[in-house]
Amino acid sequence: MSTNSQRSGGEPAAQFTWAGMYARNAAEPKGLGQGKRGRYDFAVAYPDPGSLPLAGLLDGLKQAMDDEGGDLSLYANPQGYTPLREFVAAKLQRDRAINVTADDIILADGSSQPIHMVAETLLDPGDVVLTEDFVYAGTLNTLRRFNADLRGVATDEEGMIPAAIEEAIRTASAEGKRPKMIYTVPTFQNPQGWTMTLARRKALVALSQQYDVPILEDDCYVDLRYEGTDIPSLHSLDETGRVLYVASFSKIIAPGMRLGYLTGPRPFLERAIGAKSGGSVNTFASWAVHRFSTTHLYSHIEEINDIQQDRRDAILDALDENFSGSGATWSRPEGGLFIWLQLPEHVDLVAVRDDILEEYDVGYLPGPNFAPDGVSGANCARLCFGYNQPEEIKEGIRRLASAFRAKGLIT
């Protein structure tokens, strides 16, 4: 009797060698599984497990199973579960003045998948993409998979600087490479924490129109506002079809639901849907999110914002207490989950990261993770305040300051 590992002649087959089989554009190897996490974990944007609406999601799911459980035998609409798209369209109209219907929405696996679809739909190797000088690493990695020529644009606490955007467009155009898009996280920016002002948004849209460079607006933190007033979406400021918009349920319900969405002009969506892998979107998750959202989403957002505001206040207090006069500066976000900590130029926070995790149990992500060139910003770190309790946040920041002092990085 032959086994899988034997040739028909009875000789055992050699182990297969994958090296040499990979596509030219295959991803570089990456460790499997998740790395070590600190007890004081400022590294990753997790919500507090205690704030997840588990009972509400379960009730919603049960109700949907009773109502339409038999539909699980179907492959759902390629754009995703229609009632959830209707909810998203109503939410976008209500909250972001984006006038769309369910037909203008594609639901997908978080907002990561729509970003991937946009990249696949627009980018040829070498195409220029402009983005913020430090921006969400997941998108940078996706854009790199399509061999984009990534160029960071200078920002300040009001967002991307219009003169710098214009200069970057002109420089690229002079090289014969009109940028394919501008990717921005304008609200509670990841990792820098600022929110682009209305004047800057208008200037960005005007530049997009003047130079014919579309915008990809990533608005996944917009609901997490703890103070101040909402600022109109870029999409609502443009009536010419140049702005694509993605957002997600990850930050307002849970990343584990893997549900997000894309909207844009229909001709674009008709191309982008072809870049969506995996058939429709998980109906099970869509049911839970839909039933929960139509009844409880807005009150849930208020609850989580109270929790997150306490954490934001705790981290700002702790930074004031432990870092004042040290040569460090940090952002003061009105919402979202991130603080951007900047140390003096010569400091290297990449070199000490693993030691600090090991010795002090504190995690952070250094600046180069968020840099379009992959190397700038070694003196910066992103601190997420979503996961730990306020008292733990204070202890974590106290430890971080001790670690930096012990290593001679701050005074």
Ligand X SMILES: Cc1ncc(COP(=O)(O)O)c(C=O)c1O
- Where does this chain bind ligand X (CB under 6 A)? 45, 110-112, 136, 138, 185, 190, 218, 220, 248, 250, 255, 260
Using alpha carbons only, what angle is made at residue 289 by residues 81 and 91, rounded to the nearest 5 degrees?
80
User: Residue with CB nearest ligand X?
Assistant: 110
The smaller minimum CB distance to ligand X, of residues 98 and 118, is found at: 118
At its nearest, how many Å lie between ligand X and the CB of residue 10? 50
Dihedral (CA of 185, 191, 194, 200) sign: negative
Q: Which is nearer to ligand X, 81 or 360 (CB)?
A: 81
Dist. CA 137–CA 124, nearest whole Å: 20
Distance CA 241, CA 212 (A): 11
Tell the smallest beta-carbon distance from residue 185 to ligand X (Å): 4
Q: CB 190 → ligand X: shortest distance, Å?
A: 4
Nearer to ligand X, 109 or 127 (CB): 109
Least Å from the CB of residue 363 to ligand X: 15
Nearest distance from residue 279's CB to ligand X, in Å?
18
Nearer Cβ to ligand X, position 134 or 287?
134
Gap between the Cα atoms of 386 and 316, Å rounded: 13
Write down the least CB distance from residue 386 to ligand X, Å.
10
Considering beta carbons, is residue 41 or 218 the nearer one to ligand X?
Answer: 218
Give dist(CA 319, CA 333) in Å, integer: 13
Identify any residues that bridge with 329 across adjacent strands, giving them in sequence order: 342
Cβ distance to ligand X smaller for residue 323 or 370:
370
Burial (0-12, 13-18, 19+ Cβ within 10 Å), 29: exposed
152 burial type by CB count under 10 A (0-12 exposed, 13-18 middle, 19+ buried): buried
Asked whether the beta carbons of 251 and 94 are under 8 A apart, the reply is no
